[in-house]
Structure 1
Amino acid sequence: MIEVLDQRTRFGTWWAKVTLLIDLLSGEIMTTTQIRALRLDDAHKLAPLIAENAQALRRGAPRRPDAYYAERILSDKTAEVLGAFEGDKLVGFAVFFDLPELITGLRIGQMDDIYVHPDHRNKGTGRKMIETLVSEGQNRGWLHLRWLVPGKNTPAVALYEKIAEPDHRKSYLIPIDRIAGD
């Protein structure tokens, strides 16, 4: 807080200090969301968000954070994970892949999952993660970034329709049960 006071009151007025303190107490000063690649040492921060996302999607998935699973994802050779931070707190993540595209010979980005904690939604965090992936895709020479969206997630679909075009493809799924192979 001292740094913020020094920056905001470099002209030294007492009133500016009082105004800043009121802003801080009332929540008027917003924290800046930082987007960066997650590292293995972020697993303990990622685990609770994975559990919350699983609960929201599957209703009945494990309720407790699984640090081992978060470590597996962050150690995966093909998956990459972006994190959205407000200060030191991880408030969202996006899992993506860099894939070859057969027809053009170029590469594409495939976002597998994006999640923002409910307390941090409607603040542009999801959009900022997608914008970061688009920028990364430009750096990597991707043809496009694509992702699959559950149609029932109306608020998310509304955002996606503002920033992307619907794809002409349909998605199909064949469940593969681990037990079936035994």
Structure 2
Amino acid sequence: MIRDAVVDDIPAITALYGHEVLTGTATFEETPPSEAEMAARLEAVLARGLPWVVAEMDGVFAGYAYLSPFRNRNAYRYTVENSVYVAGGLQGRGVGRALLSAVIERARELGLRHVMGVISDSATSAASIGLHERLGFERAGTWRHAGWKFDRWIDVHVMQLDLDPTAAAPSAPGVDLA
């Protein structure tokens, strides 16, 4: 089940993200944020009218995904970046696909133009790259040695989903970057 995130999800979201901060390279943060910080991040995403969703399997938290502004310049207001995190042991069971599909659909409903996937670590990112490709993202480039974490350089792969290949003029105001 996919549903909108609520404040009551913050402990589970914080625990999942904190584990990734400490053990993984899906984020370049190195210190896990507090529940208060994660609540502020949720509030900031929702205040911009962007989605933050949660997956549940059999009533148990299974992961989350959200959209955020790609860059903080007005010309980018039709482009968002996705973030997807799946709880340990649940990878490969369709949770990531359901989460990413949900935020893509919301991006379409908002009249946005592109969803960007910014995926770090070529050594462990094959599943994430594959997920994005299966949902229509195309590889847009690689930032070589863009981050330093766990005493090594890490590449970042950029993937792009074009929500309107006709390149029509925008039909909505885009993301509020204020």
TM-score (norm: length of structure 1): 0.61
Task: Count the aligned residue pairs.
Answer: 138
2:80 corresponds to which letter in structure 1? G
Greater than 4 Å deviation, 4+ residue runs: 58-63, 98-101, 169-175
User: Which of the numbers 84, 93, 104 marks the counterpart of 2:55?
Assistant: 84
User: Which of the numbers 120, 125, 134 marks the counterpart of 1:162?
Assistant: 134
Closer, same or farther in 2 for the Cα pair 1:61/1:165, shift >3 Å?
A: closer
User: Equivalents in 2 of 1:90, 1:48: separation in Å?
Assistant: 11
Alignment correspondent of 1:75: 43
User: Equivalents in 1 of 2:79, 2:29: separation in Å?
Assistant: 33
1:155 corresponds to which letter in structure 2? A
CA root-mean-square deviation: 3.2
Structure with the greater relative contact order (CA < 8 A, sep ≥ 6): 1 or 2? 2
Alignment correspondent of 1:51: 18
Alignment correspondent of 1:115: 85
Return the offset for 1:159: 2.1
Return the offset for 1:165: 3.2
Return the offset for 1:83: 1.1
Contact 2:117 2:132 in 1 (8 A): no
Contact 1:81 1:95 in 2 (8 A): yes
Higher helix share: 1
Contact 1:38 1:83 in 2 (8 A): yes
Unmatched 5+ stretches in structure 2: 149-178
1:109 corresponds to which letter in structure 2? V
Quick check: 161-170 or 128-137, which moved more?
161-170
User: Which of the numbers 88, 94, 102 marks the counterpart of 2:75?
Assistant: 102
Closer, same or farther in 2 for the Cα pair 1:83/1:163, shift >3 Å?
A: same
Higher strand share: 2
Q: Could you say what secondary structure the match of 1:119 adopts?
A: coil
Return the offset for 1:128: 0.7
Map Cα deviations across residues 29-59 of structure 1 (whole Å, 9 max, x no partner): xxxxx11221222212212111122123259
Contact 1:108 1:137 in 2 (8 A): no
User: Which of the numbers 117, 132, 135 marks the counterpart of 2:102?
Assistant: 132
